[in-house]
Amino acid sequence: MQTTVKSVIRLSGVGLHSGQPARIAIQPASAHHGIWFRRTDVEGDNMIPARHNAVRTSPLCTLLVNEAGVSVSTVEHVMAALSGCGVLNAIVEIDGPEVPILDGSAADFVRAILKAGIRRQSVPVHAIEVLRRVAVTDGDRTAVLEPAGELEIDFRIEFADAAIGSQHKVLRLSNGTFVRELCDSRTFCRQQDVVAMHAAGKALGGSLDNAVVIDGDRVVNPGGLRHRDEAVRHKMLDALGDLALAGAPILGRYTGIRAGHEMTNRLLHALLSDPLAYRIRTLTEGECDVLPGAGLEKDVFSHL
């Protein structure tokens, strides 16, 4: 069955790139509504669809823009949390142009969603079933979707910094895997890139409280890493959030090799523009058990 949140969820913090205060309220929504953002600080056309075709080029985050030019950025972590908790319908109200970064992961969003609870709606889920391989490549970067019975993510990264190096992880996203394995993995950057980002007007709200900073073989954060392979786990978190912009759960295997937000978005465009590559499938209640978030209970994940 389709789902929404049981009650309003409120969170506040600062935007990672703008450095400006930001508050959001995740509101319940009716069946078939999907996920939308609403800019409460903007009058008129302030609704922004959480859809792949509303994404505009932004090198360090996922930026959504509606037809009136109203935008919201850095949506990937809240989208990953909603998808990973199985929430299909919601309105994310926000009082500014950027979603708060919180601790740099999706854990705070997940914790708040599980605390509020998830309400099942008496309407079946329509999923996007991948029927044949679709791929996009740009130099040494690749993103692929292939047929699979449930959502799987296979991700590989490689950095010169020894503290990251080469990392590879494969996960099936059913049965709460996102909440257990990925949601607390933080965004990361290299120390040498921080100055350049600041000079470009980016990462103005970044700190060791909301990002992992790597300097060669050293993790600058006093507390170190949450997972030995936290970097690749965070890339998988981002990929889930960006895949959620398909507008429906995906049944398929995603492979990312050095991929990022732009590559995943290009992949969704390639998939959804090819009518032979996918079909919309109405799931039975039993088939919904393979979706991310199925069967989640807040008390099961008290480690968050």
Domain boundaries of the chain, sorted by first residue = 2-121, 126-301
pTM greater than 0.75 (yes/no)? yes
Fold match, 2-121 / 126-301:
no
Q: Indicate if 261 belongs to the active site.
A: yes
Residue burial 164-186, b: 16+ Cβ < 10 Å; e: rest: beebebebebbbbbbbbbbbbbb
Give first-to-last CA distance, the chain, whole Å: 26
Is the domain covering 2-121 a CATH 3.30.230.20 domain? Answer: yes
Bridge partners, 36 (sequence order) = 49, 91
HEC string of 219-249 equals ECCCCCCCCCCHHHHHHHHHHHHHHHHHCCC
Q: How many whole angstroms separate alpha carbon 228 and alpha carbon 158?
A: 14
Hunting for tokens 């360090």 — which residue is that?
60
Which pLDDT score, from 0 to 100, does residue 175 have?
A: 85
* 8 Å CB contact between 72 and 94: yes
Which pLDDT score, from 0 to 100, does residue 199 have?
A: 76
Which pLDDT score, from 0 to 100, does residue 193 have?
A: 81
Annotated catalytic residue: which of 126, 261, 269, 303?
261
| pLDDT tens sequence for the chain (304 residues) | 999 999 999 999 999 888 899 999 999 999 999 999 999 999 999 999 999 999 998 778 999 999 999 999 999 999 999 999 999 999 999 999 999 999 999 999 999 999 999 999 999 999 999 999 999 999 999 999 999 999 999 999 999 999 999 999 999 999 899 999 999 999 998 888 887 777 777 777 888 999 999 999 999 999 999 999 999 999 999 999 999 999 999 999 999 999 999 999 999 999 999 999 999 999 999 999 999 988 775 545 555 5
Instruction: Choose which CATH entry (3.20.20.70, 3.30.460.80, 3.30.460.10, 3.30.1700.10) describes domain 126-301.
Output: 3.30.1700.10
Hunting for tokens 């609870």 — which residue is that?
117
What is the DSSP secondary-structure string of the chain?
-EEEESS-EEEEEEBTTT--EEEEEEEE--TT--EEEEETTS-SS-EEE-SGGGEE--TTS-EEE-TTS-EEE--HHHHHHHHHTT--BEEEEESSSB-B-TTSSSHHHHHHHHHH-EEEESS--EEEEE-S-EEEEETTEEEEEE--SS-EEEEEEE-SSTTT-EEEEEEE--TTHIIIIITTPPPEEEHHHHHHHHHTT--TT--TTT-EEEETTEE-STT--SSTTHHHHHHHHHHHHHHGGGSS-EESEEEEES--HHHHHHHHHHHHT-TTTEEEEEPPTTGGGGSTTTT--GGGGTT-
